[in-house]
């Protein structure tokens, strides 16, 4: 019982902590990314659990027969990338994914048969992923937490729940990263943005408009005060102690 509770706590902590820092360069702080998530809390927990289990399994090299694989789970759909020395091992890996965690709905197979990638290639992939995530911060079509990114052999894979417009923006933005050869969209498409998001954006825009209007009025008032003081000085009046 204690072990189960500890695992649940670790998973929840991982979800919240992983979403606390989206980008240190961003002036808009997303304290907890789950507030912008389109997955349910249950889906997020399942994805995190699936990811942790597959990571633990894939790091035990003897079970993979020397293959190099990476996994990414979104809404219980697992993307598998990397290299395997044979078709048999490739098929074995894909079957094992759903055995390791029965909650996996499906597996997208992007594992190629061939020699493992080198460390330099993997470093380039990591750099591309970082570039893409940074580029996602500098646009206003979708929230960065709505799209998950993984790069394998300079091919960028994108997953998430997005509209067609958001998907296209994510793809064109990701393509700007240095070294990208190909973009693969693996999205779960939404017809429209969630109503709650639209309402939240409307309220934020209204708040921003009010703030801008107040700032404008304040600037106009300050200008009028300055002009009045100028006129008083021209008339030889003493403006000291005059409150405006």
pLDDT tens for 144-192 read 999 999 999 999 999 999 999 999 999 999 999 999 999 999 999 998 8
Hey, how many other C-beta atoms are within 10 angstroms of the C-beta on 39? 19
The pLDDT value recorded for residue 17 is 41
Residue-wise pLDDT for 81-103, tens only, equals 999 999 999 999 999 999 999 99
Residue-wise pLDDT for 60-82, tens only, equals 756 777 899 999 999 999 999 99
Distance CA 22, CA 30 (A): 7
The pLDDT value recorded for residue 23 is 30
Tokens of 148: 């998950």
The pLDDT value recorded for residue 70 is 95
Q: pLDDT confidence of 111, banded at 50, 70, 90?
A: very high
Distance CA 36, CA 144 (A): 9
CB 108 within 8 A of CB 186: yes
Distance CA 90, CA 202 (A): 48
Distance CA 199, CA 53 (A): 37
Domain ranges of the chain: 1-36, 42-193, 194-236
Question: Which stretches does DSSP call E strand in the chain?
Answer: 68-74, 77-84, 106-113, 148-152, 155-162, 182-189
From the centroid of its chain, how far is CA 161?
11
The runs of H, that is alpha helices, within 59-188 are 61-64, 87-100, 119-137, 164-174
Let me know how long the chain is.
244
Average pLDDT of the chain is 82
Enclosing H/E stretch for 52: helix 41-58
Select the more confidently predicted residue: 219 or 205. Answer: 219
């Amino acid at each position: 019982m204690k072990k189960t509770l500890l695992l649940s706590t670790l998973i929840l902590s991982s979800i919240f902590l992983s979403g606390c820092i989206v980008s240190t360069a961003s002036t808009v702080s997303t304290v907890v990314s789950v507030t912008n998530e389109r997955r349910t809390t249950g889906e997020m927990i399942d994805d995190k659990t699936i990811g942790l289990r597959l990571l633990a399994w894939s790091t035990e090299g003897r079970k993979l027969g020397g293959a190099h694989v990476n996994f990414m789970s979104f809404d219980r759909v697992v993307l598998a990338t990397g290299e395997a020395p044979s078709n048999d091992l490739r098929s074995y890996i894909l079957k094992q994914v759903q055995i390791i965690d029965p909650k996996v709905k499906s597996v997208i197979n992007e594992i190629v048969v061939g020699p493992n990638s080198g460390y330099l290639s993997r470093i380039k992939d990591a750099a591309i992923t970082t570039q893409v995530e940074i580029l996602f911060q500098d646009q206003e079509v979708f929230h960065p937490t709505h799209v998950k990114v993984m790069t394998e052999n300079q091919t960028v894979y994108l997953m998430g729940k997005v509209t067609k417009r958001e998907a296209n923006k994510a793809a064109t933005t990701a393509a700007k990263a240095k070294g990208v050869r190909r973009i693969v969209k693996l999205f779960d498409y939404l017809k429209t943005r969630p109503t709650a998001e639209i309402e939240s954006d409307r309220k934020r825009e209204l708040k921003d408009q009010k703030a801008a209007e107040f700032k404008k009025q304040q600037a106009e008032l300050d200008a009028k005060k300055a002009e009045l003081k100028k006129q008083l000085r021209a008339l030889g009046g003493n403006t000291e102690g005059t409150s405006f």
